[in-house]
Amino acid sequence: MTPGRVQSFKFPLTLPGEWLEYKIHGDIITQMKLSLDDNRLITASKDGSLCFWQVKSLAGAPPLRKDTEFTYAAEILITKSELEDKNRRVFTLQQQVDETKTESEYQLRLKDNKYIEEGRIAKKKFNAELTEMKNVIQRMEADIVTVRKENSMEMSNVSEQHEKAMADLGEQFKSKLIVEYQKFDNLDDMYNALKRSYEKQMLSMEANTKNELKKMEKTFDTKLAANDLEVKKHEKLGMEKVRAVEEMLKQTEEDADKEILELKTKYEKILRSERHSDPKSIIPLGNLAFLEYILRFFFQ
């Protein structure tokens, strides 16, 4: 049995067995008893719960569901002495509750009186501080007005000084710009002169490069013509060599064909003579097979 579960096995027992399992207890089952008529099963668990089971035969009956819901009894089994002891404890606790209730009410009344007096004192103090804060705010507003007037005067003076400084800087920068413009004009003239000299140099260099290119073209044409002649000579020599090689290949093929025909006739004569001769002097089958292989190799 697993903790808190009851298993009902099918009889007769088989391997593997068939059973239904029910869980209702929360801890290990310590006691299990059947009634005298075998219709009730009583189980007791370590968690203090007690369960009554109805025993039924499943022969011819529909199978029970494994997810059957169980109803728990609301009654708690207890002895009389324990009940009287619990009633006494309840009575004493009720008395203690009443006493603490009256004591707490008395303490609350005392605290209410104390809080009311403290509230009056705090209200007076708050009113005094509030009036003082109002006076401070009025003084600060007056100070703000005076500071704004002083700041406006200072801002006007600073703006006048700034305008004068900007005018002086403008005059200084005008004189500097005139000098810089003169420098720029001088540099522009120098740039134009350099540009013209560079263009002249570029034209002379282009003429020189054209002359050099013409000379190089003439020399390259002469070399190219000479190379063409050399290539043609080498092509003629190559063609002659190819013809000679082809002639040699033809001659060798003709010689090989002649040798093959001679060998064929020779071995055919040998085979004929061996086949018509005495059986004792016949060439072994291995040698005949070797001769046939040679003839096939040469004449196929």
CA distances from 102 to 108, 112, 188 (A): 10, 15, 111
Q: Positive or negative, the Cα torsion across 132, 134, 140, 143?
A: negative
Residue 222 has pLDDT above 50, yes or no: yes
Which tens digits make up the pLDDT trace of 95-115?
A: 899 888 888 888 888 877 777
Separation CA 254–CA 247 (nearest Å): 11
Q: Using one digit for the tens of pLDDT, what is the confidence trace for 224-283?
A: 888 888 888 888 888 888 888 888 888 888 888 788 888 878 877 887 777 776 554 444
Region 161-189 average pLDDT:
85
For 158-170, the pLDDT digits (tens) are 888 888 888 888 8
**Residue 4 to residues 41, 42, 56, 223, Cα–Cα distance (Å):** 15, 13, 21, 114
The alpha-helical segments, DSSP class H, found in the chain are 80-276, 285-299
| Helical pair 285-299 and 80-276, crossing angle rounded to 10 deg | 90
- DSSP character for 54? E
| Nearest one of 10, 30, 32 to 19, comparing CA atoms | 10
Residue 65: pLDDT over 80: no
**How far from each other are the two terminal CA atoms of the chain, in whole angstroms?**
93
The β-bridge partners of 5 are 23
Q: What are the pLDDT digits (tens) for 3-39? A: 888 888 777 777 777 888 888 888 888 889 988 888 8
Q: Which of 32, 33, 31, 26 is nearest to 3 (CA)?
A: 26
